[in-house]
Structure 1
Amino acid sequence: MNFKEIGRKILGIRTDEELAAQAKKTPKEKVIEFFKSLGFALIAALFIITFFIQNTRIPTGSMENTILVGDFVIVNKFIYGSSSPRYIPFTEIALPYFTIPGIREPEAGDIVVFEFPGDREDLVPKELNVNYVKRLIGMPGDTLQIINRVAYINGKEFPVPPYVHYALPYSKPADRGEDYIYPAGAPWNEDNYGPYVVPKAGMKITLTPENYMQWRTFIDREHGERVVELKGGTVTIKGKPVNSYTVQKDYYFMIGDNRNDSYDSRFWGPVSRDAVVGSAFLVLFSWDREIPFFNIFKLLGSVRLERIMMVLE
């Protein structure tokens, strides 16, 4: 079967010969043909969703006012390189997977969909296969700092997104450290953060009894198990004394455009390259998700016409 025939099957287009043959089929043959066509369509849809594009409904306001609650966003999965399914559908059972090359690597300013790595101290997320959408502001090796809510990358102010939102009219004082900030023990808060160097493959981290807790979960995640310990005043990895660690992967720093209401890298750390799913680039349509489906006319009346087919930036 060539691509032309596959396209006709997906679109339901039939030749005159096929229509004539269909008319001669028995009811049983027609039922069998229907389910064969349905199965083919489902396989084609699964292939497209897996490797090319998918629709994601936005449930939270962490990217307001760029992306609103109730937006249905189209995600480009092949731009960074898509992968085969990583989990059995509707379960948290992991599968072996492979990736295919992408068009380009993620870039600063991209709106990125990625698999949530877990809370700050989690080796693995409490719930697997959960995707987040945030803006990438820190590339591997970048030095990031936030001063009074203004982000700086390598000493230069990061371009302010056109629809960035601040729910609070003021910044937290720089000397007010928060216990929940990443990494553990850092004297920072969400409005005054860093300087923080985004981990990069090959980067060497110095480990001491004083700072190992800041890096413990990060290193454990790279190994997929708990490997970092402090024994007799000495930092060990898999029981071997160490004073440094070489990062194995590239990472990105993600932040929400709704800066005061976003659970992002400031709270749970950087995102590894292999956790990236795709780029959110288009709002398909949008409505008020607070309206229940049984109130269909009110729900349809809440459709935000100005956001239909809106390109994200």
Structure 2
Amino acid sequence: MSTLSKEKGKVKRDSRKKVEEQGAGAKLWSWIKTLVGAIIVVTIINGLAIASFVVPTPSMEKTVMTGDFLFVNKFIFGPSTPQVIPFFNIPLPFFKFPAFREPQKGDVIVFIFPGNRDEVEATEFQYYLKRCVATAGDTLEIRDNHLFVNNKEYKLAKNGFYDPSVSDIPSEKFQTFPYGKNYTRDNYGPIRIPKEGDIIPISMSNLHEWAVFIQREGHKISSDGYSIYIDGNKAASYKVQRDYCFGMGDNRDHSLDSRYWGFIPKENIVGTPVIVYWSWDTNMALAKFFDKIASTRWSRIGTLIR
């Protein structure tokens, strides 16, 4: 074989290799663009229309079950920009659009957890699911485990229940809200759900009751032992800036809810669950694949949430 033929063969091989490398690079770039596009689409849909939620606890049993996967309607209470980047849970700047209607008593709601009773900000970004039992301006009271809203007994939801066997436990693991009131799970209130424009008297006797609430609304509150100061100004009252609601689990005696960590800002409400699209034992490891599949609750799939 002549030297010229060898050189031609080498040129062809080099050319083919270069084409293959370019093809691999193009495929990788195409895959990256597809992935980024998918993330953007999921982010938009998740922010504006439909979101997915997995039920982590039995607090709403039997309305929803631990391990139910739910589609959540975000349009009804006002679509919002995404709160986090999907898959990475990185917080984003937040904006909420006008609602089609306001949350009402009896609605099952998914919301951003506002934080534990004594936290100004939640230590971790989490979604919670409860039933809205009272809205801004309502007065709520629990008497011997019976719930009253505006002095009228609030009937249990269709699937709601309480367990008489545990209703008389005298001490509780978690402190109830608000600080200093010493309410119990079964005898709570009366308490008014704050409404925008409400004027709350503030004094040394109820400072601890309202301090975290006022800070959550973005203000600094302090005291010199005699007087109270909000944003550096002496104050004897506080004007509420937002509407709130009160959430409870349908499984009342096994639910950590507004009785323990307080009011839910209306802006924190993400939507209402619509339907169960999958359900299985979320505590079972994926490594036990066949057992995991066997744990699927086929009868739950397609269940409408009310």
TM-score by length of 1: 0.83
Matched, 1:196 2:196: no
2:54·2:70 contact (CA, 8 Å) conserved in 1? Answer: yes
Amino acid at match of 1:153: V
The change in CA–CA distance for 1:178 and 1:152 in structure 2 (over 3 A counts) is farther
SS at match of 1:195: strand
2:80 corresponding residue in structure 1: 83
Structure 1: runs of 5 or more not aligned:
1-25
Shift of 1:300: 1.5
- Superposed CA deviations along residues 42-90 of structure 1, whole A, max 9, x for unmatched, are 4322221121111111121111111111111111112111211234556
SS at match of 1:252: strand
- Superposed CA deviations along residues 196-253 of structure 1, whole A, max 9, x for unmatched, are 1000000010111111110010001101x5x222213112212221111110000000
Structure 2: runs of 5 or more not aligned:
1-21
The change in CA–CA distance for 1:239 and 1:39 in structure 2 (over 3 A counts) is closer
2:178 corresponding residue in structure 1: 183
1:232 corresponding residue in structure 2: 225
Structure 2 counterparts to residues 254-293 of structure 1, below 5 A: 254-293=247-286
1:83·1:99 contact (CA, 8 Å) conserved in 2? Answer: yes
1:166·1:258 contact (CA, 8 Å) conserved in 2? Answer: yes
How many aligned positions are there? 284
Cα distance in 2, alignment partners of residues 33 and 88 from structure 1 = 22
Shift of 1:296: 1.7
- Superposed CA deviations along residues 65-117 of structure 1, whole A, max 9, x for unmatched, are 11111111111112111211234556675432222223211111111111111
Cα distance in 1, alignment partners of residues 184 and 173 from structure 2 = 5
Cα distance in 1, alignment partners of residues 46 and 190 from structure 2 = 39
Percent identical among aligned pairs is 37
Cα distance in 2, alignment partners of residues 290 and 168 from structure 1 = 28
Amino acid at match of 2:153: E
Cα distance in 2, alignment partners of residues 114 and 241 from structure 1 = 34
1:222 corresponding residue in structure 2: 217
Q: Which has the larger radius of gyration?
A: 2
The change in CA–CA distance for 1:66 and 1:229 in structure 2 (over 3 A counts) is same
Match of 1:247 among 215, 240, 245: 240
SS at match of 2:59: coil
1:148 corresponding residue in structure 2: 144
1:14 corresponding residue in structure 2: none
Cα distance in 2, alignment partners of residues 29 and 211 from structure 1 = 66
The change in CA–CA distance for 1:33 and 1:170 in structure 2 (over 3 A counts) is closer
Cα distance in 2, alignment partners of residues 113 and 154 from structure 1 = 24
Amino acid at match of 1:65: K
Cα distance in 1, alignment partners of residues 33 and 174 from structure 2 = 57
Matched, 1:136 2:129: no
1:21 corresponding residue in structure 2: none
2:199·2:238 contact (CA, 8 Å) conserved in 1? Answer: yes
2:72·2:271 contact (CA, 8 Å) conserved in 1? Answer: yes
The alignment yields a C-alpha RMSD, in angstroms, of 2.4
